[in-house]
Structure 1
Amino acid sequence: MIPYVRDIKFEYGAVDQVSPLIRRVVANNPGPFTYVGTGTYIIGRGEVAVIDPGPDIEEHLEAILKAVEGERVTHIMITHHHIDHSPLAAPLKARTGATIYGCAVTKVVEDDGGVKTEAGYDMGFKPDVSLCDGGEVSGPGWTLESIPTPGHTSNHICFALKEENALFTGDHIMGWSTTVITPPDGDMSDYMDSLDRIRVREFDTLWPTHGPPVREVTPFIDAYIAHRREREAQIEQALAAGPSRIRDMVPVLYAAVDPRLHPAAARSVLGHMIDLVRRGRVLADGAPGPDSEYRLAG
């Protein structure tokens, strides 16, 4: 079982000092993909970085500016291009003159009219400085390292605060829920590799964009990985009975889940299927897709 962390105390629009170098302002955009809302982090004092300014909500912009009154925002750091993370970057830059850092969109995802499994895409996001391959930025008393973590999206980045051995995880690891991996922009193979990349760093604290921090880091990531491996084992067990399609497997695999959530679950299973086909453990009748027939290899 994943030891979820869901208890968080905050007031919308207020700034909280959550560690010696970190302040947090939570946007008033709660929902099924954002939990209580987007947690925008402010790093340092005097000359500061802002991580994931969030959705384009005027009240949240003003709350961030009030929190840094008398200071200078020099860096705007974006973990990825979902609409609950990056749209406020441009308005914040216009008001502060700060530079936007992140990784540009690499895959264009069309709205197919199907089930929504994340908040949506900010396709206009363009950083001033690319950190797709890693890198460091710094200010007075703080250093942020960019760690590419594709999986949730193709351009996802986590940011390590070296002075506190802490990691801002965006949506890569969330304390309140598992992370959605939705092809084609989401990629399960990349995601599992990225989890391993973070695990070996042995951070003391994870700061997700949504929800409270994770303090017991290694056991939490181990449980995250085990959850994914258990799901793929269930898929392979289901296929051991014979070839099948995702739409027929989901009601069995997710029998204890509200049927209204089954379409979203099917997208997650597709992510696993693509990964299993790539690894040669499952075969598909053609390119793996939502309507393909799958069978065990060998």
Structure 2
Amino acid sequence: MPRLSSSVLVLRGEEVLLGHRIPALRFFGDYFAFPGGKLEPGDGEGEQGLRACALRELGEEIGLDLGTRDLGRLETLATVTTPPFAPVRYQTVFFLLRLGEGEVPGLSSGEFDELRWMRPRDALRSWTRGEMRIVPPVLLFLRLLAEHGAEGLPEAAGAQEKLLEQGQLHPVYFSPGILLAPLKTPTVPPATTTNTLVVGERLLYLVDPGSGDPEEWARLDERLDFFCRMGARVLGILLTHSHPDHVGGVLHFAKERGLPVLAAEKSLAQLPLEVHGVEQRVLVQGDRIELGEAPDGSEGWRLEVHETPGHHPGHLAFFETRYRSLIAGDLCSTLSTIVIDPHEGHLGTYLESLQRMRELEIETLYPAHGPAHPRGRELLQFFIDHRKEREDKLLSILREGVGELAALLHRTYDDVDPDQLPYALRSLLSGLQKLEEEGRIRKRGEIWEMRA
């Protein structure tokens, strides 16, 4: 169940208050946001409780002590629920507060380290130039405010809420020019969705349309049709790889829209595209996919193709050049570690791919599962370190003389939910294979052991 929370759009004339969340915060650290937070037991229940929550957060975060007598000053805008792609989801009621004379907010807690008063269009321009990160739903309200003004905002926000309730895709942008659409797929737990991305402004590419659900296709088609009405063109489908949860909608979108499919040769070979008359284009290391003019008007915007095998022999990643985003596919996840299946994956090769991508100057990293991460290089280093720690743990257990597979699984992955052990087994086998290839261990019958 999503957690209940409140957020407040604070207005002073034509300016809106944005707070910069300290980078160390786990939830949207280093992003600008509105004041707000989750409902606490002492706030009460229902709408009154959420209003009390909003006023409490205003006092705690920006030093505005309005008191419960001012509950009525908060104008309800809309309720927005986090799409089902995040480990923690929130059902947030957004309120509007117009400051009166003498009401001056200031830094008051450890969540914000900077406050900025900005006109909505100035904030959006700054975001488009890559000068500030803004929480995705805050971006939505800034756009509504810029378009409709303060007087028209409540009505426009209410209309947007109804569209989202009817199934319209959330406008999830962690960086300019990349729409993240988490669509339902039969993927590996804990994930329940795969991120389909729409990359570009006027020249669009669809990345990993993984859902095989016609209802999800309709949601994505609605957004693509909207972009096309605004003058954009969809030029093709890009695939990070050909696992089922990444390609479930490929035939639908390729055939209905007459789009070519661009992927590594080893991925294209696993798809029935030719028999359906779908154009195929092989991508290799160093290829460039031109995107035209970037959202800030700069030229030379493109995607650069990187071969990143290991999870899948035909795995690709795409580096976006203007904002230095990496479309990482299953190179990593913000929900869990990636399964390396020894039947088609290779752990040593996968680690080499992680390290090569770690050397790029990455800002935002878009995984196939889970929210985008604002510090992509840090995330890649985390998974490199995590794999090393897991390998060291496995070697320590092997040195104790434990060599039977079931015992190795339960000892090495004693921190994993029992329901996830079948997936952990695949990673264990890949780890044993790597160590055997390096000449550090060997297998005698059904027992694994250290080499002398």
Structure 1 residues 90 and 45: CA distance shift in structure 2, 3 A: same
Look up the equivalent residue of 1:73 and give its one-letter code. V
Distance (Å, rounded) in 2 between the aligned partners of 1:159 and 1:258: 32
Distance 1:107 1:249 in 2: 37
Who is 2:242 aligned against?
Answer: 81
Q: Is the 8 A contact 1:40 1:54 kept in 2?
A: yes
Please give the residue correspondences for 1:33-182 in structure 2 after superposition, counting only pairs within 5 Å.
33=189, 35-69=191-225, 70=228, 71-105=232-266, 124=272, 128-141=280-293, 142-182=301-341
Separation (CA, whole Å) in 1 of partners of 2:176 and 2:268: 37
1:16 paired residue number: 171
Q: Tell me how far 1:45 sits from its aligned partner.
A: 2.1
- Is the alpha carbon distance of 1:292 and 1:150 closer, same or farther for their aligned partners in structure 2, counting shifts above 3 Å? farther
Which residue identity does 1:66 align to in structure 2?
E
1:263 paired with 2:415, answer no
**Number of aligned residue pairs:** 278
Whether contact under 8 Å (1:7, 1:212) holds in the other structure is no
- Determine the C-alpha separation between the residues in 2 that align with 1:248 and 1:102: 40
Alignment-mate amino acid for residue 257 of structure 1: V
Which whole-Å deviations, capped at 9, do the CAs of 1:62-120 have from their partners, x for residues lacking one?
22221122232102100111111113122111121221111233799xxxxxxxxxxxx
Larger-gyration structure (1/2)? 2
1:189 partner SS = helix
Task: Give 5+ residue unaligned stretches, structure 2.
Answer: 1-25, 28-85, 91-136, 138-163, 294-300
Alpha carbons of structure 1 residues 23 and 107: separation in structure 2 relative to 1, 3 Å: closer
Give the partner amino acid of 1:52: D
Distance 1:153 1:40, change over 3 A: same
Task: Name structure 1 gaps, 5 residues minimum.
Answer: 109-121, 286-290
Residues 1:8 and 1:208: Cα distance change in structure 2 (over 3 Å): farther
Q: Which has the higher contact order (CA 8 A, sep 6+)?
A: 1
Contact 2:177 2:199 in 1 (8 A): yes
| Distance apart, 1:132 and its partner CA | 3.9
Listed one character per residue, the Cα deviations across residues 9-35 of structure 1 (whole Å, up to 9, x for unaligned) are: 786541415032111222133764372
C-alpha separation in 2, matches of 1:239 and 1:107: 40
Q: Which amino acid aligns with 1:158?
A: A
- Alpha-carbon distance change, 106 to 137 in structure 1, aligned in 2, over 3 angstroms: closer
* SS of corresponding position for 1:169: strand
Deviates more, 1:44-53 or 1:22-31: 22-31
What secondary structure, in the 3-state scheme, does the structure 2 residue paired with 1:238 have?
A: helix
Compute the TM-score of the two structures, normalised by the length of structure 1: 0.84
Q: TM-score, normalised to structure 2's length?
A: 0.57
Where 1:273 maps in the other structure, the secondary structure is: helix
Question: What amino acid is the match of 2:245?
Answer: D
Q: Aligned residues: percent identity?
A: 26
Aligned mates of 2:446, 2:206 — CA distance in 1: 43
* Residue 384 of structure 2 corresponds to residue 225 of structure 1: yes
Question: Contact (CA 8 Å) 1:143, 1:161: kept in 2 or not?
Answer: yes
CA distance in 2 between partners of 1:92 and 1:194 (Å):
30
Residue equivalent to 2:143: none
